[in-house]
Chains A and B, each alone.
Chain A
Amino acid sequence: MSRSTIIPFGPQHPAFLEPLNVSLKLDGETVTGAVLNLGYNHRGMEHALSLDYKKTQYLAERVCGICSNHHASAYCQAMESIYGVEIPERARLIRSIMMECQRLTSHLLALGHIAEAVGYENLFMQCFRERELVMRLVNEISGNRVHYSINVIGGVKRDLDASMEKRAAEAMTKLRPKLDELRGIFARDSTLSKRTKGVGKLTETQARDWCTVGPVARASGIWEDVREDSFAAYGMLHLRPVVRAEGDCYARTMVRMDECLRSVDLIEECLSLLREGPVAVDVKGHPTGEGLGRVEAPRGELVYYVKAVGKLQLDRIKIRTPAFVNVPPVQVLLPGCQLADVAVITVSLDPCICCTDR
């Protein structure tokens, strides 16, 4: 008769950056069951966000530090739809540039994280070395490394001058060969493919049943990308979503890797489209009405619902983050795998607990 053991995985664990707890039921080395325990990061953001709509934009960035600009953009879009204003074209393009920069930093973090989970320390360091290039660029553009604080309701706060545009284009030219090199390693390295190919397979039906979004869904063969619904400047750009059919850890990694290269294309396209013009429009008075803001965050669709009642305090603000739907599938992915693969599978979903718990 086999005896099963229950071990806690997290909240403080070498493989995780954040407090996430998974109760694993083990039979020897094989995982037979997994129960997700969330809430370590719950701060009560939705309540705090609704207290003062002028400060919400500051706090919305603090919901998550990895996709902070997307949170602020989604909130600003929701508020702009309440005010009924159209933001200028230049502001749209700058927003798109910043969003793609953030996608680059987030995906390079996720790629480095999976390299670390596999045990490939060297590649983790390399990912972070290339990531630092993008971090320096956004620092030059916005003055901040993590929370860009570049969005305001009605446009953006900071403009790119001519020399900044040039430096951004130079940074992208410098980044592209480095990303190509990284892609070669991720695609062909035997250590990585042995640890990731065929591991943690999420079928298309499962991906649909668990309502996954973003790279996790795209790696399981689902064609969905909110950028195709043309928010910010994405209507003007040539989008080519990356979709793969395998659904395993390898596919999820490669989708992120290819999206990095597509982001570089998009940033260069945005820079070439920049024309002189205003970067913000004025909005007046307290907002009244309901608004929805949808953006494609690095992890997938991010939705902000705002209900304003003509006061400083908002009636309700509801956030649906991508990690909220992308993390629960670990409960179907983990049973049947080896204990050593738990970290790889969990990390390949790119869990973001501060988004999930809010």
Chain B
Amino acid sequence: MGFLDRVGARSPWILHFDTGSCNGCDLEVWALLTPRYDVERFGGVNKANPKQADILLITGPVTKKCEDRLRNLYEQVPEPKLVMACGNCASTGAPFHNCYNVCYGVDKVIPVDVYVPGCAARPEALIDGLTKALSLWEKKALAAKEVKE
């Protein structure tokens, strides 16, 4: 990576959306932003704006009412984008497997790149998932740049 590339590189912005989770993972996502875990040191900043976001951080099993909103949000995020499913219910919908109003996982609605297990997902697991997502996103961004050139 040359000097100009390094200067031109930017921090990926995170968009967090709750699609019907129990709030457990959301709290841990918030704990990530705060002094103890502080994910900003990896370059991810939480900005609740889909138009400027790069990484979608989704919690919850996706309720039927949230399905269209999630798809809408995903379409608003510009390429290259990445989706991270946080927690067991976002990954498979397992904890809510007898509920009639859920879609059983984010990947039933939009493509998912990184799955973080746990109910609720621990901050350490979320950091691990986020660092994976960041390296994936860098690769994606680089590939998109090459195609452009």
- Residues of A whose CB lies within 8 Å of any CB of B are 11-14, 17-19, 39-45, 47-48, 51, 59, 61-66, 68, 109, 124-125, 128-129, 131-132, 135, 145-147, 352, 354, 357
Contact = CB atoms under 8 A, between A and B. Distances in A.
A11 B70 CA distance: 10
A147 B28 CA distance: 12
Given A14-B48, A18-B18, A19-B69, A65 B96 contact: no
B126 to A, nearest CB: 12
Contacts of A19: 17-20, 66, 69
Interface centre among B15, B18, B36, B97 (most CB of A within 10 A): B18
Q: Which of A19, A125, A129, A354 has the most C-beta atoms of chain B within 10 angstroms of its own C-beta?
A: A19
Given A11-B69, A43-B63, A128 B22 contact: no
A299 to B, nearest CB: 12
Given A39-B65, A42-B20, A43-B63, A66 B34 contact: no
B34 to A, nearest CB: 4
Q: Which of A65, A68, A128, A129 has the most CB of B within 10 A?
A: A65
B101 A132 contact: no
13 contacts: A12-B50, A19-B17, A41-B63, A42-B20, A42-B101, A43-B61, A48-B97, A61-B22, A66-B27, A129-B35, A132-B36, A147-B119, A354-B22
Contact of A44 (B19, B27, B100): B100
Contacts of A17: 18, 23, 26, 30
Interface string B57-89: 000110101100100010000000000000000
A11 B66 contact: yes
A146 B98 contact: no
A109 B28 CA distance: 11
Interface in B26-43: 26-28, 30-31, 34-36
Given A145-B122, A146-B28, A65 B21 contact: yes
Interface in B81-139: 95-102, 119-120, 122-123
B120 A12 contact: no
B23 A18 contact: yes
User: Taking chain A's interface residues, is the majority helix, strand, or loop, or is none over half, making it mixed?
Assistant: loop
B96 A62 contact: yes
A150 to B, nearest CB: 15
Contact of B22 (A65, A125, A132, A135): A65
A43 B102 contact: yes
Interface residues of B, number: 40
A128 B51 CA distance: 28
Contacts of B20: 19, 40-43, 354, 357
B99 A45 contact: yes
A312 to B, nearest CB: 13
Nearest to B22: A65
Nearest to A43: B99
Contacts of B17: 12, 19
Nearest to B123: A145
B122 A125 contact: no
Contacts of A45: 96, 99
Contacts of B15: 12
A144 to B, nearest CB: 8
A75 to B, nearest CB: 15
B63 A40 contact: yes
A42 B65 contact: yes
Contacts of B61: 43
5 A-B pairs with the lowest CB-CB distances in the bound complex, closest first: A65-B24, A128-B34, A14-B48, A65-B23, A48-B98
Contacts of A131: 31
A128 B37 CA distance: 11
Contact of A18 (B26, B49, B123): B26
Contacts of B69: 11-12, 19, 40
A48 B120 contact: no
A135 B61 CA distance: 25
Contacts of A352: 23
A308 B27 CA distance: 34
A103 to B, nearest CB: 14
Given A43-B96, A66-B27, A129 B34 contact: yes
Contacts of A48: 96-100
Q: By CB atoms of chain B within 10 A, which of A44, A61, A63, A352 has the most? A: A44
B41 to A, nearest CB: 14
B14 interface: no
B55 interface: no
Nearest to A42: B101
